[in-house]
Structure 1
Amino acid sequence: MDAVRWFAQVGSGDLAAVGGKGANLGELARAGLPVPAGFVLTTGAYAAFVDAAFAEPGLAGAAVLEPELAGVAVAATPREPVGPREGEDPEAAAARIQAALHAAAVPAEVADALRGAYAQLGGGPVAVRSSATAEDLADASFAGQQDTFLNVRGEEALLAAVVRCWASLWTARAIDYRARREVADPRLAVVVQRMVEAEASGVLFTADPTTGRRDRIVVSAARGLGESVVGGLVGTDDHVVDKGTFTEVERRIADKAEMTVYADGGTAQVPVPAKRRRTAVLDAAAVGELARLGARAEEHFGAPQDVEWVRAGGEFALVQSRPITALPEPAAAPPRTWPLPYPKGAYFRASIVEQLPDPLTPLFADLIGPAVSDSIRELMAGLLGRSLPEGDILFPTVNGYAYYYYRTAGLVRVTLQTPLAIKALARPGTRGGVRGWREHAHPTYVGTVGRWGTRDLAALTPAELLDGVVELLRAGAVYYTAVQSVIPLAASAEIVFGAFYDRLVRKPGDPAAHVLLLGEESEPIRAEQSLYALATEARESGMDDAWQGRFREHLARYGHAVYNLDFAEPTPADEPGPLLDTIRFQMTDHGVDPAVRRAGLVADREAHTRRVRARLGPLRRRVFDALLARARRLGPIREDALTDVGLAWPLIRRMLRELGSRLDLGEDDVFWLTEAELRAAIRGGSVDPPIAERKALRRSRALVSPPQMLPDARWLKVVFGRFLPGAEAAAGDALKGVPGSAGSVTAPARVVRGPADFAALAPGEVLVARMTTPAWTPLFARAAAVVTDIGGPLSHSSIVAREYGIPAVLGTGSATDRIRTGDRVRVDGDTGVVTVV
């Protein structure tokens, strides 16, 4: 058996024998980079340990395993790989498996090989690290899943550390991590490397892991040993280096209160002397020298690297290198200021902005701005008989994010005239309100989409295609503005009923007001019911041709419900993958029939309603009935109206992609042109827009949370702060938003940026998003709670969360920045507070 291999003997082709970490250290050594000497105890040694420990006497190694470990340990002979017993909790599996492994004896052949290599290394302190076959790879780092032991001294301590390292393959954390990533048959080698008594250590990324810039190297440095840097136990100095010149372009010197040092049989945390806490660990020359080593590692591996380094006696050594996983596409530096395009006014992220959570693409920003501002002026003119002055309301972007802009005088005018406008919604013949939406706005929008949808796109000229896009987008904006006149009616109906109920009806033990409003059918609920029916059919009969036809019918009816109103983002009709994922989820044991859930809500609300009505006198009962009926009637209309905002979007996307293809711009690159550039191309002009740079700029802007209001003026916060939750980020680990749905839950968080992340949301996780639209509704069946950056108590997120009976906190302002996937968070839907536990 080949139990030991030295670093110089291994490389990328030896992954199965020495694991990812061992193979990468071998490559570093072969490339001539400074690597502390060491060797790898191979996966064959691990297999021999398992075989010898659990084989019955007289039988070949892996032929019969101890029943307690049957099918769990990795055997030397081929067999079917399986993990913990079906349905077994990771904690229970870990306890069972590790107990057996710690009780086992290391085979003499393996122990002798380990002792011999240790003696050849020179003895003394060594680091013992796991090197799994699924570890430190380009598509998954598996970082921190197995254990590392530092400052191990002596043969017996080394042998014990190796066994503990092997056993760490079966911690509950590692079992769960592999299960989530569907990794079976894991094998573990062990790296034994001479310890360097480091005066400084840290990590180095040969690309900026935040912005994705490949022309930057990022160095983090701390005093003492490096394991605490990787584990986040100590503060680090951070340096950003230009990869071309190896000079610093940015540095941040931390207050380094502690450092990790040698201790008996391991390491310990000790205070950093006061005079050294705020001094730099590395000077500029040392940072440049280290950056050059990182660049050499990247050149050797052919991909950006995550490198661990140490420094002793003024010399650097590299102790680990792995590919950077999940490196984002390159982005510019995130914005730090919010320059305002128009002075003397106020900027708000509300209303339609709730469906525009990300920075806008250039073409959409150019076309949507005038469409929105013109539609608002037209609605106000229809309601009041006079239009607002030009420039009172605009729809610009700040750092790419959409904002409503109100000139100061215009803000006063709109505020004073809003009560009159709401009153006008009840007038017969109005173009606003429920009647205006149902009898005019919706039919007009449907008609415009239908008229353009019947035209042969191939027969249209490029100019006609763009004209059609502009008309459809303006029709969508006019429609949304009409919907805005429905939302206040629905909101006020719920607010008035809630106020009457809480003050004049509710007694101890009675449910909250919103419970009496649950269970009404709406378009998002009907869409979810359609998906569940498709899941039921697929489970029973498979996804045959008939099923495929019904799925296409679903897309034709519901596929325009946008995830994000920017038309550069695909709709479900364009990319149905998230819907198919929802169907697969509904096919599992976690799936719940929406009709059954809704029937339960209706039964509860009716029982509560009967009990409350029975004790009311005639007058209060009449008022109660009238207010309740109005709130129940208007609530679903709001959701129905919002769902159809994107009715034109699949067609707009087809027209723009046809236009881009026709002009040799690329089907998807067309979204990254400005309107002026696109019109110039249509006229036959040559355009060469910096599309890659614009994409990088958008990615950088997406790294920050935009303020809910601008400028940062006290009067704005005083007057409008209570209407725009999340305008100010909370301090510490608690985020303050507004209560959207009652209840309290503590669970792991899952940050979901868009439909590409939908499949990652596991049942029982907290959905954390910038916002949700009706197209996000299927996720609520999996979520334990919902937290959003923007939105209020009457937004879509709030309404749907109540239907699902899960807590919701909305309008936190920065939840997607402050919370990381995997954080345990407490969501209190009663107080509107989210706490990172």
Structure 2
Amino acid sequence: MSMVYILPLAHKQATLEMVGGKGMSLSKLLTAGIPVPDGFHVTIAAYQNFVEANHIQPHINKRLDCIDSNNINRLEDVSRQIGMLFHDGEMPQKVAAAIKTAYAELGSIAVAVRSSATAEDLPDASFAGQQETYLNIQGENEVIAAIKRCWASLWTARAIAYRMKNHIRQEEVALAVVVQKLAFSDASGVMFTRNPLNGRRGEMIINAAWGLGESVVSSLVIPDTIVVDKKAERIVLYQAASKEIMTVRTSDGTEETTVSERLRKKHALTRNQVMRLAQLGKRIEQYYQMPMDIEWALEKDTLYIVQARPITVLPPEWLSPERDVIYTKGSLAEHLPNPVTPLFATLGLEIVNRASELLWVDMFGKSATKLLPDNGVYAIINGYVYLSAKAKPLLIAVKSFSPRSLRRTLTNSVERFQSAREEFEAVVREWEGKPLDTLNAHQIMEGIQVVFYAVCTYFTRIQLTLPAASLSETLFTKVFQGAARGAGIADTSVFLLGFDTIALQSEKSLFNLTEWVKQNNAFDFYLQNNSTTKIAIDFMSSVLPAEVSQEAWAEWKTRINQYFIKFGRTAYEFDFAYPTPGETLTPTLESIKTFAAGKGESPFLRQATLENRRKQAEQEILQHIRAPCKKLFLKLLRWAQETAPMRENAIYLMGMGHPQIRSMFHEISERLIQSGAISQPADIYWLTKSELEALIVRLDENKSLSDMSGAIPVRKTQLEKQRDYMPPSKLPEKIGKMISGAPQKRKDGKIVLTGIGTSTGIVKASACVLHSPADFESFQPGCVLVAVTTTPAWTPLFAFASAIVTDIGGPLSHSSIVAREYGIPAVMATHTATRSIKNGQMITVDGSVGVVIIDE
């Protein structure tokens, strides 16, 4: 059988093995009657014939032997050498003749020459954008040269590394090429037949810009974004962008030019064109029976499809579990920024809901049943915890703002906080005093539930004290902002800073510990010359480090342990699966090291400065307030000053029970490991409540236990996947929010994130993105701290951060208050900072206007 080097585009024989993924896809579309520009395939056989005739493969194998996929410079070098082999190779006579004939039959016109790899665009592998496309190629020699360049693009550094990492054998890959009439696009872009931002099945998203599609595909331009409701067949949203650049044809290829002022903001597609394009998208999706990513072009008024592939990664849909219920990331959900572990989702949340329900009954009386959703106050959607309530805002408002309810919430808040704290403390201390080895697993499990119920009850009680802090600050600011400005005080938060909170006492304690370190030269040397990880390992081990005396080491251990007894009763995150400060020593050690190196400001000095400023501001503003208002001023000021530190302390203590809960879980874990049910202590958090309870029953009866460790990796992978989702702040979502949920714009080619500026100042520095305490050791002093949110346990990092940026939070959240204490800029509620900003990127944080600029 003679080799087939060329096939017509719409040929029935166009299989993946012959024409690659892109080629097969275009053939399928043509046979389904979709408008695709005409052309032909240059088959895999042509590539193989060329490689064989020029003896290229042995050279490739030799160059790739023993190469490291992470050594980019070496890969680039090898890729260039392989590229030259293709460039210099002679096109075999038969292949060249077949290409020239097919090109002549097309009419020797301008064409697009596109790579089509055998392994690309498969549902489980995304090779998108790895191989090249050449546009506006004219003349048979130019077409042959472009085909060779496409073949060579199979060997770019990126493609080689991708195959190595995914264990795809290099000698088995080959490349077909599609040669197609070039659509002279007036506009072009991409269409996703399912909304790739929120996973909505019923929505399509179309991006459109002027000129050829390259500017859209390679992100050189911000295109128009159009959301189409598939079922209702209507445009839900047309967001026109300022399209400043377009790709146009030149005499020998393409180039980017600027778009005329007149066209920049103009819609690139008419309503009729959008609907016709959506119809095509629906047909393609039905034909493939899966969501598709489609490239299209508009020539005069004719639409062409130039590429269609499955969407490989789709976020989940954010559907409300119950009708007529509103879900928000408020209240406790703010303290659970990450997806929750199986044990927290099943055991923890049940207890949270039990305590919250009592709070609702207490707050709303008989109306509580009208507001409580069937699934409880807190629900889990795609792994994330949401606060929920039946959609009756009027009822909630009337009940929350009734005189009785307001009086209860706003009076004696500090005393109520103190009594909630004392009751919570009593439960924790009682369980800390019990020798766990004398209890059976069932008794320990009951203890866990008792302590965690105390945690949740405490949280519900401080829910009724915290509004006093927010309201007093808001009222004080509203009433006296004018007077403050008159006195030359730009920011009224000066009146509420410099008080002695637990977080500040904790920092002072570390600072004092550092003073002790500095007096001990040998120890100071040991601290500065070892990594925090090494110091933490030494601390946990029973071996004395060589460079330290026995006496100094014993003193050091005592001091650190005392610090954790006093300040380690807190949590980084409300899900009890996360280690507490006493278990993750590195952040604390990092603070001590930084203080010892003289890099951090003394907390004593900082507090004294803030206190002086506060007193001075009070004197200055009093001169600007008329006598009748002075009484009100002092009353509101004292109320705000009493409640502000209470808010910080109340939240700091939310995690007071977590260390004890974790040591109880640890005790059960050790027994489960001995019985072969799990393999490491943290595995317990990946079990569900019912699985754990079943194991405990058998454990206490000395029966054999089934091995649960097989199920755990799958659950961990699932949670990692959920971590990449972007949970909307409210469900159901408003139509306009669906575009991205991300207030992200571009200015001068840079990405600009918009949030709420909560502490003024401008800083340009390197970003450090922290998702959990596990990332703390990577934090470098002077960086911008970027996190989903922070809790008081994160405070040691603030002393060394140059600015703070978070995904959620507001002017009165912990991050904002602490940033103001430290005098560093803060921008909250950016929604996407932790996903948009990469570690080490230079960013500019402007706390006065609430923007973050990524200086790429």
TM-score normalised by length of structure 1: 0.62
Shift of 1:375: 2.1
Aligned to 1:738: 756
User: Structure 2: which 5+ residue stretches go unaligned?
Assistant: 1-56, 88-113, 178-311, 524-551, 699-704
Q: CA deviation at 1:616?
A: 2.3
| Aligned counterparts, 1:657-668, within 5 A | 657-664=666-673, 665=678, 666-668=680-682
Map of 1:249 onto structure 2:
124
Q: What is the deviation of 1:622? A: 2.1
Q: 1:828 to 1:293 in 2, by over 3 A?
A: closer
3-state SS, counterpart of residue 744 of structure 2: coil
| Residue equivalent to 2:508 | 529
After TM superposition, list the pairs within 5 Å mapping 1:588-627 onto structure 2.
588-627=597-636
In 2, Cα distance between equivalents of 1:291 and 1:592: 45
**Kept after mapping to 2: 8 A contact 1:786/1:808:** yes
Of 758, 771, 774, the match for 2:776: 758
Q: 1:292 to 1:618 in 2, by over 3 A?
A: closer
What residue in structure 2 maps to residue 398 of structure 1? 381
State the AA in 1 paired with 2:516: E
Pairing partner for 1:630 from 639, 655, 662: 639
**What's the offset of the Cα at 1:199?**
7.4
Aligned equivalent of 1:329: none
Partner of 1:419: 401
Q: Are 2:712 and 1:691 equivalent residues in the alignment?
A: yes
- Counterparts of 2:68 and 2:404, CA distance in 1: 60
Aligned positions of 1:60-209 closer than 5 A: 194=81, 196-197=83-84
Alpha-carbon distance between aligned partners in 1 of 2:158 and 2:613, rounded to the nearest angstrom: 65
Matched, 1:579 2:582: no
Q: CA deviation at 1:362?
A: 0.4
* SS, match of residue 403 in structure 1: strand
Task: After TM superposition, give the deviation of residue 475 of structure 1 in Å.
Answer: 1.1
Residue 727 of structure 1 deviates from its aligned partner by 5.6
Distance 2:460 2:795 in 1: 23
C-alpha separation in 2, matches of 1:646 and 1:674: 22
In structure 2, distance between residues paired with 1:470 and 1:606:
46
* 1:564 and 2:544 correspond: no
Alignment of 1:367-766 (within 5 A): 367-386=347-366, 388-389=368-369, 390-391=372-373, 393-409=376-392, 411-420=393-402, 423-426=405-408, 433-439=413-419, 441-507=420-486, 509-541=488-520, 542=523, 544-664=553-673, 665=678, 666-684=680-698, 686=706, 688=708, 690-713=711-734, 728-732=742-746, 733-766=751-784
Instruction: Output one character per residue of 1:358-397: Cα deviation in whole Å (capped at 9) or x when no partner.
Output: 1100011112323223323322333455471153652111
- Map of 2:280 onto structure 1: none
- Give the deviation of 1:785 after TM superposition: 0.8
Task: Tell me by how many angstroms 1:557 deviates.
Answer: 1.2
Conserved 8 A contact 1:808-1:827 = yes
SS at match of 2:124: strand
More off after superposition, 381-390 vs 562-571: 381-390
Answer with 667-676 or 706-715: which moved more. 706-715
Cα distance change, pair 311–333 in 1 and its aligned pair in 2 (3 A):
closer
Cα shift at 1:679: 1.3
C-alpha displacement of 1:671: 0.6
**Distance apart, 1:801 and its partner CA:** 0.1
Q: Is the 8 A contact 1:36 1:195 kept in 2?
A: no
- Taking the aligned partners of 2:327 and 2:721, their CA distance within structure 1 comes to 21
Whether contact under 8 Å (1:537, 1:547) holds in the other structure is no
* Alignment deviations for residues 553-585 of structure 1 (CA, whole Å, 9 cap, x no partner): 110111122111111110012222221111111
Deviation, structure 1 residue 424? 4.6
Residues 564 and 582, structure 2, Cα contact 8 Å, conserved in 1: yes
The structure-2 alpha-carbon separation of the partners of 1:252 and 1:292, relative to structure 1 and needing over 3 Å to count, comes to closer
Is structure 2 residue 781 aligned with structure 1 residue 784?
no
- Partner in structure 2 of residue 164 of structure 1: none
- Of 309, 321, 326, the residue aligned with 1:341 is 321
Contact 2:163 2:169 in 1 (8 A): no
Contact in 2 for aligned 1:240/1:250 (Cα 8 Å) = no
Name the structure 1 match of 2:4: none
Q: Residue 319 of structure 2 contacts residue 731 of structure 2 at CA under 8 Å; is this kept in 1?
A: no
Alpha-carbon offset, residue 621 of structure 1? 2.3
**Deviation of the 1:592 alpha carbon:** 1.6
Whether the 8 Å CA contact 1:378–1:387 is kept in 2: the answer is no
Q: Which amino acid aligns with 1:788?
A: T
Q: Distance in 1 between matches of 2:360 and 2:65?
A: 77
Q: What does residue 807 of structure 1 align with?
A: 825
Q: Distance in 2 between matches of 1:743 and 1:709?
A: 30
Aligned residues: 585
Go from structure 1 to structure 2 and tell me whether the alpha carbon gap of 1:594 and 1:687 turns closer, same or farther (over 3 Å shift). Answer: same
| C-alpha separation in 2, matches of 1:789 and 1:239 | 39
**Amino acid in the other structure paired with 1:483:** I
1:565·1:646 contact (CA, 8 Å) conserved in 2?
yes
User: Does the aligned pair in 2 maintain the 1:334–1:703 contact within 8 Å?
Assistant: no
Secondary structure (helix, strand or coil) at the match of 1:734 reads strand
Shift of 1:433: 3.4
Corresponding position of 1:184: none
Pairing 1:312-351 to 2, within 5 Å after superposition: 335-351=315-331
Does residue 34 of the first structure (1) align with residue 60 of the second (2)? yes
Q: Is the 8 A contact 1:656 1:670 kept in 2?
A: yes
Residue type of the alignment partner of 2:124: V
Shift of residue 823, structure 1, vs aligned partner: 1.8
Contact 2:768/2:785 (8 A) holds in 1: yes
Does the C-alpha gap of structure 1 residues 593 and 344 become closer, same or farther in structure 2, counting only changes over 3 Å? same
Matched residues in 2 for 1:292 and 1:197: separation?
Answer: 17
Output the aligned Cα RMSD.
4.4
In the alignment, structure 1 residue 360 sits paired with structure 2 residue 340: yes
Shift of residue 674 of structure 1? 0.6
In structure 2, distance between residues paired with 1:562 and 1:781: 19
- Give the % identical residues: 29
Deviation for aligned residue 1:196: 2.3
Query: Which deviates further from its counterpart, 504-513 or 461-470?
Result: 504-513
Whether the aligned pair in 2 keeps the contact of 1:376 and 1:481 (CA below 8 Å) is yes
The letter for the 2-side match of 1:691 is: I
SS in 2 for 1:466: helix
1:506 aligns to what SS in structure 2? helix
How big is the shift at 1:673? 0.5
Counterpart-to-counterpart distance in 2, 1:558 and 1:737:
32
User: Equivalent residue of 2:581, what SS?
Assistant: coil
Question: Does the CA-based 8 Å contact 1:741-1:801 persist in structure 2?
Answer: yes
Letter aligned with residue 415 of structure 1: A
User: Is the Cα contact below 8 Å between 2:846 and 2:852 reproduced in 1?
Assistant: yes
Relative distance call for 1:305 and 1:573 in structure 2 (3 A) is farther
Contact 2:86 2:149 in 1 (8 A): no
Q: Is the Cα contact below 8 Å between 2:409 and 2:468 reproduced in 1?
A: no
Tell me the secondary structure at the aligned position of residue 822 of structure 1: coil
